[in-house]
Structure 1
């Protein structure tokens, strides 16, 4: 044994410095959403309550992106330290940051240039910048900016909330930009991105948002006009919100231990009727299955949303209804490893073994939980008919009707919502479709003949608005309408106008008879 396994005698020790270009490899696994989450982590660690994510665009292109917060801000010395690659950054146990490379790695994974403008309370504004090219060459260069530029950046982006102290992180030279160049196409591209960002951040930070500790807003600013459009606030998406509903089975509370460390996990099996809910889907209907499995939280921040970490096969489609929630304590951190992008964790062998041995108070095991999840999937397949998804109407259809749509059809999470409105249109038109604004307009001219009511309110004629939505919702899918769809729309238009005229004639005849 000793002939093959031995410790050699050491004569000399040589310290080998890492290649500086290694710094440029950090963060390459970031996508836009995870990179933004890393910047939000920094803002939360700095005590921010408000965060604004702003797309900057001009007449022909998307020019950049700014992330604004009202945290403590930094002095010049703190800013320069924060911009340094390879510096050991100290983090408190309650911080969301972990590696000390998030600002640079996240930013330069998405853009050619990073600029930071910041101000501490009662300090002057300061700024610094760095380029992706300098990092790629292995010689990261930090450029200090004049205070006037920093002050202007804080003023320009401080329209949503006061930034008497706080930070603006600005990305320019974005690697991902729209192919089309018209203003309308650019705005559509940005709007789609903001929706993806909102879903991701709403899930990742749902606990902080729900508790009121964090408010995240998104908007876009036209740099040629110097005007920002209306903003919208990120809503929390709790992956476990559904699981406290009456229709869902009770929770499986598991306990186990790794050495002297107590480990608690909560398993839930999602009711089949909730499978199309946004809290279950999280991203898109196609990707819903990816989000079943283990959810790991650290300091109320979601680190992992799905995947089984070796406790089960990630490709097991029969586990599509099962989720497990775990809290990462400071004591347990030695048994997990997560990457700089904070986009997943890896369990130690000791922790995996402990979880497989976990049990509930009544003696049920983790394997029993997985078996119950597979049974739920099998039972759902027996009762499942071919599911039909419809585009969600957000206005013009009563909430009670939308609930029934969700229950019997399900909403297509890959399609943007649609609004229904009544408005006066030409006599030969029953409806108009505005695909860009996602609006279906019904002709107010025929409202009285259809409903018997003269006064129009948003909640009236639910039967008509619902039928029109079900008849025409498919025209709001895809990039453009084909010849066949256009011909179908013209035919429906003509038939409905004829029916509306017939309705008016019948109403007039009834009125004369009286």
Structure 2
């Protein structure tokens, strides 16, 4: 067979880099991508500094990780850099450092010292203005006296890496970049970065990741606090049955782990401050749904991945979904690590579970409508059928003799018998007397008694759409 003639076609640097600046990063995701590299380098501290100085404003991310030698640092500036990633690393595509940085700035400088005795300080710089001029894939190898001033104070004598962004053309888009409005917006960006990092890396910050020291992150000197979406320290938070599901991918099969939580309603939080913080960056309704983690790093925070609509009555349910990088192709992880797509086989398995979780969350939500103390009980008409104890329990906040655990078990037994049986919760245990049922409670109890809870759930869903006022009056 004849050898085919080949011609090497190298992409134009100027036009290609212009396109690569638009890969879907916003500022907070771009900073998080740089912190990913710090985590992969086993850093235990990461400092993010956002400095305002008009057109000379800059953002710096420094860490105390392993650092890089000269060859590794130069390779890190190659688009699509080629290296092996282990199973728990947060990188994958070899684009993060460059694409995240240039999505926000025109000049990227990286200063690094490898964790090797006597290692020299290495620095490289990618300048988009220079590439626009020469239209070639070139970076600068900086000498010590050429280092930008902000990098000099970012790294001491130990190993680590400093990433500096200058020329923040995608961040400061104002006619007067030195004005008060520009400064105010950059401060707001710093606050947004703080909030985002506390959510994305909350497991690392809380020391929940196996074989790792807790991670410390600061933004402008202030420690970033971990934000737990599931409020696991709240006594009234309910952890439902965990699930493991196998998913196939082009690389190899992997396990997806799911852990659903139903948070308490506002009245059952330990304090109003805790309740407000639990609402999250996007607010209660938009934070419901799936929290998808890749190697313990949060990729998606809330949303139902088109398995159901956002619903006020389901705002208390949040589900952690964990997978590792071997399933990246199955989940369609993008370069910015800001979105995923559920594999079709997983969607089919999740559909009935989402309905179950939604019903339990709906029950927890409607607890806020109970009166503070039980109203007078009406006498039961003679000959009236008695509903089963489990289906009629609606304890008021004043009932101290019914524990939260009993309350949760009874509600679970009523609205998800299969799940209750799996957890060992009985459906006919005796409970203390409770307040009379509301209209919605009576309908649900009756539907449960005749085995039509699923049908009622569909009716309620339709009623909320067709006549929300009537649904509200009925307690839904």
Q: How high is the TM-score relative to the length of structure 1?
A: 0.60
Kept in 2: contact 1:309–1:347 (CA 8 A): yes
- Structure 2 partner of 1:352: 347
Kept in 2: contact 1:62–1:178 (CA 8 A): no
| 2:78 pairs with 1:84 | yes
- How far is 1:86 from its partner? 3.2
- Structure 1 partner of 2:214: 213
- Structure 1 partner of 2:235: 246
In structure 1, distance between residues paired with 2:333 and 2:143 = 38
| 2:23 pairs with 1:28 | yes
Unaligned runs of 5+ in 2: 208-212, 373-476
Kept in 2: contact 1:126–1:151 (CA 8 A): no
What's the secondary structure of 2:106's corresponding residue?
A: strand
- Structure 1 partner of 2:223: 233
- How far is 1:167 from its partner? 1.4
- How far is 1:353 from its partner? 1.8
- How far is 1:152 from its partner? 6.5
Unaligned runs of 5+ in 1: 1-11, 220-230, 358-364, 385-514
What's the secondary structure of 2:167's corresponding residue?
A: strand
- How far is 1:266 from its partner? 1.1
- Structure 2 partner of 1:118: 112
- Structure 2 partner of 1:339: 334
Q: Which residues of 2 match residues 292-331 of structure 1 at below 5 A?
A: 292-313=288-309, 315-331=310-326
- Of 348, 371, 374 in structure 1, the residue corresponding to residue 359 of structure 2 is 371
- How far is 1:186 from its partner? 6.0
CA RMSD of aligned residues (A): 3.3
- How far is 1:193 from its partner? 2.2
Partner deviation per Cα, 1:311-348 (whole Å, 9 max, x = no partner): 223x4444322211011135544421211111121121
- Structure 1 partner of 2:377: none
- Residues 290 and 218 of structure 1: CA distance in aligned 2, closer, same or farther (over 3 Å): same
Partner deviation per Cα, 1:467-491 (whole Å, 9 max, x = no partner): xxxxxxxxxxxxxxxxxxxxxxxxx
| 2:198 pairs with 1:202 | yes
- Structure 2 partner of 1:412: none
Kept in 2: contact 1:270–1:321 (CA 8 A): yes
In structure 2, distance between residues paired with 1:215 and 1:250 = 28
- Structure 1 partner of 2:425: none
Partner deviation per Cα, 1:410-435 (whole Å, 9 max, x = no partner): xxxxxxxxxxxxxxxxxxxxxxxxxx
Question: Mean Cα displacement is larger for which, 260-269 or 110-119?
Answer: 260-269
- How far is 1:210 from its partner? 1.2
Q: Which residues of 2 match residues 463-478 of structure 1 at below 5 A?
A: none
Partner deviation per Cα, 1:23-56 (whole Å, 9 max, x = no partner): 5434531111000000001111112111111123
- How far is 1:378 from its partner? 5.3
In structure 1, distance between residues paired with 2:296 and 2:235 = 25
- Residues 334 and 56 of structure 1: CA distance in aligned 2, closer, same or farther (over 3 Å): closer
What's the secondary structure of 2:320's corresponding residue?
A: strand
- Residues 110 and 383 of structure 1: CA distance in aligned 2, closer, same or farther (over 3 Å): farther
- How far is 1:253 from its partner? 2.1
- Structure 2 partner of 1:454: none
- Of 281, 284, 306 in structure 2, the residue corresponding to residue 283 of structure 1 is 281
The answer to which structure has the higher strand fraction is: 1
- How far is 1:233 from its partner? 1.0
Number of aligned positions between the proteins: 348
Kept in 2: contact 1:118–1:168 (CA 8 A): yes
In structure 1, distance between residues paired with 2:204 and 2:239 = 25
| 2:94 pairs with 1:106 | no
- Structure 1 partner of 2:49: 54
In structure 1, distance between residues paired with 2:160 and 2:265 = 45
In structure 2, distance between residues paired with 1:45 and 1:114 = 20
- How far is 1:157 from its partner? 2.2
What's the secondary structure of 2:76's corresponding residue?
A: helix
| 2:128 pairs with 1:132 | yes
In structure 1, distance between residues paired with 2:339 and 2:157 = 33
